[in-house]
Structure 1
Amino acid sequence: MQKMIFRENDRGHVDFGWLKSAHSFSFGQYFDPDKMSFGALRVLNDDQVEGGQGFDLHDHDNMEIVSIPLEGALAHQDSMGNGRTIETGDVQIMSAGKGVQHAEFNADQKDPVKFLQIWVIPNERDLEPQYDQKSYLQLDMHNRFATIVSPDNADLNTVHIHQDAYFNLADIDLGRKIEYTVHSEKNGLYLFVLEGKIVVENEALSRRDAIGLYQTEKIEIEACFDAKLLLIEVPMY
């Protein structure tokens, strides 16, 4: 097994007033040649946008873009004709494919919205752009992982991604242990602690810490405090 530790305070932090963001990987004004990606996982931005503010219309291509609100709601518009709002408990994916424009704004005029925006490199270039959005609140993630993003078109509980990638959420009680089995030996695991404290592979991780693990078939996680986790499985190339 190989592992890489990513501490919360080692992320790139930017503050534009209306936008506060922590970058797990090189993005925008933040550049670290040692933090370009974890396999096909290219971007993980931990964003806070103030009330009534947002990102004007801009271009993307050949990237799978996943947004997960943590607090508040995010308004979305794109050149495919979608005008939607994603709320806490929703997951959204926009497959940019051969090219798409979109804008994102805080849906509230007063309170900030906090969300994760995550980019995954697709397994095929220049696809037709696609959009999907689902609620995951009906899934059981109590002391177990529930999958919210997958490559399986037949899974009605997940949004579809053009990559052999899986996004999973779990809420773990203090003292409980859970396991995760990797789908493919070509894949690695990026475990991001949303809240709480855990121990995985003899490493202690706190809020917003992360660990990358690969060349392994299974991991075990123990919660030292009540914890909320995001686990992303991606090809390591």
Structure 2
Amino acid sequence: MDDSGSAQTGSGIYTAPRTDVSQNQGTFRIHFNFPGRAVPGHDDHGYGPLATVVESFMDPGTLIRMHQHRNEEIVSWVPDGVMRHDDRQGNELVTDSEHLLVMNAGSGFWHAEETLADDPPLRMLQIFVRPHSLDLEPGIQHEPIPDQVRNEWRHLLGPDGCDAPLSVRNDVHVSDCRLDAGAATTLPSRPGWDTYCYVFEGAVDVGETAVGYTESALVTDDGDVPVTATEDSTVVAFVIDPDAPVTREGTIGR
């Protein structure tokens, strides 16, 4: 284990505790998870195209005023509650457990986020992907996602041209899974790619490695790796091409 708390616990499996990188803005609080920090000595806080996975909290009645993002792909994953979005393109969108939002910021995209006073407290993930090129055409995707089937992975998004409901402009696939206590599945993978997983709720064993609430694991070995829930759990998995070309000039996800 190094000073960051990351550790290699088995062949090709690196774990990291809950991040200590956070910002507290009162009714809006964020925790930055940096997948590259799972690997001791890794020279990048991100891991290939995946810059950071941000655990975000918004209390009811919170407004994050209109602001700009550039040169990053931002995925808003909301397992419960609602996140309200508006932008300078005239979109007024509600993201919840049945929808996913992707801002392909490109050369520049302005948006605001809000929860109303009678909305429930919100805890979500905002995922920052490094695009393959700078100053791409900006745009936004807001689509319904398939119903979740417990104990099975749900493919949410991937690179342009894949069969997922939404896309980002680099080599990252994102899936989620709600596992019942005692249930097992196989971690999503692709030959030659690596998989980072984040435990949003509960606790699991990745292979023989325990990964608890808000902890993460990076798997760099090929082959099937079992994921077994030691309690009811929600896990998000990111399958990443570590050698994909990336840019590092995003507003947040550098």
Corresponding residue of 1:124: 133
TM superposition shift of 1:123 = 2.0
Gap change, CA 1:206 and 1:161, over 3 Å in 2: same
Report the Cα distance in structure 1 between the residues aligned to 2:191 and 2:103, rounded to whole angstroms.
24
**Unaligned 5+ runs, structure 1:** 27-32
TM superposition shift of 1:73 = 1.0
Does structure 2 conserve the Cα–Cα contact (< 8 Å) formed by 1:2 and 1:213? yes
Q: How does 1:1-237 map to 2 (within 5 A)?
A: 1-8=11-18, 10-25=19-34, 36-109=45-118, 111-140=120-149, 142-151=150-159, 153=161, 155=163, 158-185=165-192, 187-237=193-243
- Extract structure 1 runs of 4+ deviating beyond 3 A: 107-111
Corresponding residue of 1:30: none
Name the amino acid aligned to 1:147.
Answer: H
Name the amino acid aligned to 2:182.
Answer: G
Identity, % of aligned positions: 22
Deviations 1:170-200 (A, max 9, x none): 1122222211352241x22111111121111
Does structure 2 conserve the Cα–Cα contact (< 8 Å) formed by 1:38 and 1:212? no
Report the Cα distance in structure 1 between the residues aligned to 2:138 and 2:132, rounded to whole angstroms.
14
Deviations 1:51-91 (A, max 9, x none): 22132111111111000113321111123332211123321
Does structure 1 conserve the Cα–Cα contact (< 8 Å) formed by 2:174 and 2:239? yes
TM superposition shift of 1:153 = 3.7
Could you say which structure has the higher strand fraction?
1
Report the Cα distance in structure 1 between the residues aligned to 2:160 and 2:225, rounded to whole angstroms.
23
Does structure 1 conserve the Cα–Cα contact (< 8 Å) formed by 2:107 and 2:134? yes
Does structure 2 conserve the Cα–Cα contact (< 8 Å) formed by 1:73 and 1:107? no
Deviations 1:122-149 (A, max 9, x none): 1232211121122325243x22211011
**Unaligned 5+ runs, structure 2:** 1-10, 36-41, 244-254
Report the Cα distance in structure 2 between the residues aligned to 1:217 and 1:122, rounded to whole angstroms.
27
TM superposition shift of 1:24 = 0.9
Between the two proteins, the alignment pairs up a number of residues equal to: 227
TM superposition shift of 1:47 = 0.9
Does structure 2 conserve the Cα–Cα contact (< 8 Å) formed by 1:181 and 1:217? no
Does structure 2 conserve the Cα–Cα contact (< 8 Å) formed by 1:53 and 1:106? yes
Does structure 1 conserve the Cα–Cα contact (< 8 Å) formed by 2:109 and 2:139? no
Does structure 1 conserve the Cα–Cα contact (< 8 Å) formed by 2:45 and 2:51? yes
| SS at structure 2 position matched to 1:17 | coil
Does structure 2 conserve the Cα–Cα contact (< 8 Å) formed by 1:45 and 1:116? yes
State the TM-score, normalized to the length of structure 2: 0.81
- Over aligned residues, Cα RMSD in angstroms? 2.2
Corresponding residue of 2:7: none
